A = this chain, B = another copy of it.
Amino acid sequence: MRADVLSAVGELLLAEGLTDFTIERVARLSGVSKTTIYKWWPSRGALALDGYFHAVEPTLAFPDTGDIRADLTSQLHAFGRLVGETPAGRLLAELIGAAQTDAELAAAYRALYSFERRHIAVARMQRAQASGQLRADVDPQVVVDQLWGAVYHRLLIPDEPITTTFIDALLDNLLDGILTVGH
């Protein structure tokens, strides 16, 4: 039943975004009562985040082929397409936007989504440090901000587009460095 609710939430959010998302509609679509839903999720925002996380988890899976450049590239391409080309981008932007003046939603966002996404990325980078591909003195948490965080920056302040060229440039800049040799 919990899984039924989460799939109904994920489908609804990815099709329509957050505007008309209500616990009433989730109850109708999933066949689970509102009382039960409220027992499991304290608020509409927490339910939305949990459903979203489960819906995108397969898309955002982190490969481990042993080649960190290849694995970061394929994960970031998938992430870029998700936020740049599907309703997930608008949904994430609205959730993050609302979280700026809603402390409960902000806490739920971190607990149900961003903390776990950071953890998955950091774990993959730590294995790349153990295998000698990434410099040992690099803090993988900072890399999260310079790859995924850079994409969120374009999502939330859309001065420039989220394209495959952009994603590839993020990786080239950060993996190889932007200074000329000798500087």
Contacts and interface: CB of A to CB of B under 8 A. Distances in A.
Contacts of A146: 146, 150, 170, 173-174
B159 A149 contact: no
Contacts of A94: 100-101
Interface in A69-114: 69, 93-94, 96-101, 106, 109-110, 114
A99 B101 CA distance: 12
Contacts of A114: 157, 159
A134 interface: yes
A98 B96 CA distance: 10
SS of A interface (majority): helix
A182 to B, nearest CB: 9
Contacts of A56: none
A39 interface: no
A183 interface: yes
A64 to B, nearest CB: 16
